Amino acid sequence: MSNEKKILIAYASRTGNTEKLAQAIAEGVRKVKDITVEVKRAREVTPDEAASADGYAFGSHSAFEYMAGELKTLLEELYHVRDKLSGKPVLLFTTGKGGQVAALASIDKVVGVFNPRWVKPGVAVEGAPGDADKAKAMEMGKKLAEAVKK
């Protein structure tokens, strides 16, 4: 299966809501043939592992209307391999209690230095993801996987 492409979903989750959203995105990715997906906490991802992926979803809970430090640390570590991330599809997602849209914008601004091929819109959910939120996340995961195949 040398044609198989890989998507890395890296997230920071304080209460479990962002992890649930990450899993819903992964479910959507799995609907596309010849794409594998790995879902990991941001602190468990190495730069080499990230550089070898073909597409990404980065997500975080809102931490004072900003991304969590765990995700920011990963993105800082990826800076020295940014040329290997350049041009690859990226989807962003957040959860929060009102600051999730601002947190999404903070991730967008930082990830922009990697020159990604954006998969928009990002997914921003208030509180725990409900059925409609999970359906949207699955739809965007499928869209990300299709972008990776192109």
- Residue ranges covered by each domain of the chain: 5-130
- Alpha-carbon distance of 136 to 102, in angstroms, equals 19
Domain 5-130, architecture per CATH: 3-Layer(aba) Sandwich (3.40)
Is residue 113 within 8 Å of residue 81, measured between CB atoms? no
Read off the pLDDT of residues 101-132 as tens digits, 9 standing for 90 and up. Answer: 999 999 999 999 999 999 999 999 999 999 99
Amino acid type, 28: G
Read off the pLDDT of residues 13-33 as tens digits, 9 standing for 90 and up. Answer: 999 999 999 999 999 999 999
pLDDT over 50 (residue 1): no
Is residue 79 within 8 Å of residue 112, measured between CB atoms? no
pTM listed for this prediction:
0.97
Residue of 97, 84, 2 lying closest to 50 (CA atoms): 84
- Alpha-carbon distance of 94 to 13, in angstroms, equals 9
State residue 116's pLDDT score: 98
State residue 2's pLDDT score: 55
pLDDT over 80 (residue 74): yes
